[in-house]
Amino acid sequence: MKKEVMESYWRSNVRLVLVLLFVWFSVSFLAGIVFLDFLNQFRFFGYKLGFWFSTQGSIYTFVALIFFYAWCMNKIDEGHGVEEE
């Protein structure tokens, strides 16, 4: 494998991880903690929105993030010819 290929592979990987971690941080630390009281003035079905994020929404988002990551990484692997058999 060429050094340039590996470097570009690693850059795509890190970029993806950064984007996903930004979402991870937003739904838990921001929506579920820092802006909890602010979001609680809005309703989401029978929930206050902030409470929903901290007890339900953040967890659903985490699940989706990991599936999305696994899917994207497989694409990135293939794009750089480093996928496993």
Q: Long-range contacts: 22-31, Cβ < 8 Å, 24+?
A: 23/61, 23/65, 24/61, 24/62, 24/65, 27/53, 27/57, 27/58, 27/61, 27/62, 28/53, 28/54, 28/58, 28/62, 31/57, 31/58
Beta strands 47-48 and 43-44, pairing class:
antiparallel
> Which position among 8, 12, 20, 26 is part of the footprint of another protein (CB under 8 A)?
20
Asked if 39 is part of the footprint of another protein (rule: CB under 8 A), the reply reads: no
> Which position among 21, 22, 38, 79 is part of the footprint of another protein (CB under 8 A)?
21
Residue type, 49: L
Asked if 55 is part of the footprint of another protein (rule: CB under 8 A), the reply reads: yes
> Which position among 38, 66, 75, 79 is part of the footprint of another protein (CB under 8 A)?
66
CB of 72 to another protein, least distance (A): 10
Q: Which residues of the shown chain bind another protein in the complex (CB under 8 A)?
A: 1-3, 6, 9-10, 13-14, 17, 20-21, 24, 28-29, 32-34, 36-37, 40, 44-48, 51-52, 54-56, 58-60, 62-63, 65-67, 69-70, 73-74, 77, 82-84
